[in-house]
Amino acid sequence: MELKDHVIIVTGGASGIGREACLALAAKGANLVVADFNLDGAEVVVGEVQALGVKAVSFKVDVSKAEEMSALVDFAVEKLGTLNGIFNNAGIGLVKPFLEMDPASYLKVIEVDQHSVYYGMYYVAKKMVALGAKGTFVNTASIYGSIASRGSFNYNAAKAAVIAMTRSGALELAEYGIRVVGVAPGFIDTPISGKDAEFKETLAVQHMSGKLIDPAKVASVVAFLFTDAAAAVNGSTVAVDDGFLAFKV
């Protein structure tokens, strides 16, 4: 139970990678705040996590709002007594050609995928330093933080920023005993991929295994990064991409 008595916030915790991360962290003993805009879904995950023998609470949050992220952090400490980190995982996508990428379309993704990571890091760091608590931040970046994809100017920009913020945050927070790391998933097998088998196949073949990635496989890496076994990993973004970034045919 490497994370026994640790308190970790997971944003986007109601589904996909977030849900699987909650389960993986709970299996290591962490107490959790399952934060999501989908409160009903978050409460289901809370029940699943509590069944593993740890404490968990849910919180409805719009991660694009600074005041809601600040309230989330206060809630975590109020309910669970301390705070040892955050998995900044919530995110959205909005695909449009660049010449149709109007400011509203651009900002919708930037505010959720980029600004929320800053809010999470900032408010959690302030709280942890005030408490004298140590721990880890894990940020969800993407393979698209390192390469370009048509129709994803907004998403590419946001995820590249997450990689940069991970480096910068790690540098500035190391003296306080806070590590900051990232994960860059490839194409994940979740409902967001849709039901079009032909489309899903076009994504799958871009991995070395020729398959979409099980979100639990990403979650296992996330959970590891929160533990002391990963103490030497800091400022880096770990590709969990089944070789996507390593090859193309």
Render pLDDT for 2-47 as a digit per residue (tens, 0 to 9).
999 999 999 999 999 999 999 999 999 999 999 999 999 999 999 9
Render pLDDT for 202-237 as a digit per residue (tens, 0 to 9).
999 999 999 999 999 999 999 999 999 999 999 999
Provide the percentage of residues in the chain whose pLDDT is more than 70. Answer: 100
On average, the pLDDT of the chain sits at 97
Determine how many CB atoms are found less than 10 A away from the CB of residue 194: 10
User: Is position 155 annotated as part of the catalytic site?
Assistant: yes
Residue 44 makes CB contacts below 8 A (sequence gap 6+) with: 14
Residue 168 makes CB contacts below 8 A (sequence gap 6+) with: none
Provide the percentage of residues in the chain whose pLDDT is more than 90. Answer: 96
Q: Under a CB-based contact definition with an 8 Å cutoff, are residues 37 and 61 in contact?
A: yes
Q: Hey, where are the domains in the chain?
A: 7-246
Superfamily of domain 7-246: NAD(P)-binding Rossmann-like Domain (3.40.50.720)
Of 119, 123, 144, 155, the catalytic one is 155
Taking residues 193-198, report their average pLDDT.
81
Question: Over 80: is that where the pLDDT of 191 sits?
Answer: no
- pTM for this model (two decimals): 0.97
Q: What is the pLDDT of residue 193?
A: 73
Q: What is the pLDDT of residue 190?
A: 81
3-state secondary structure of 103: helix
Question: Over 80: is that where the pLDDT of 195 sits?
Answer: no
Question: Over 80: is that where the pLDDT of 95 sits?
Answer: yes
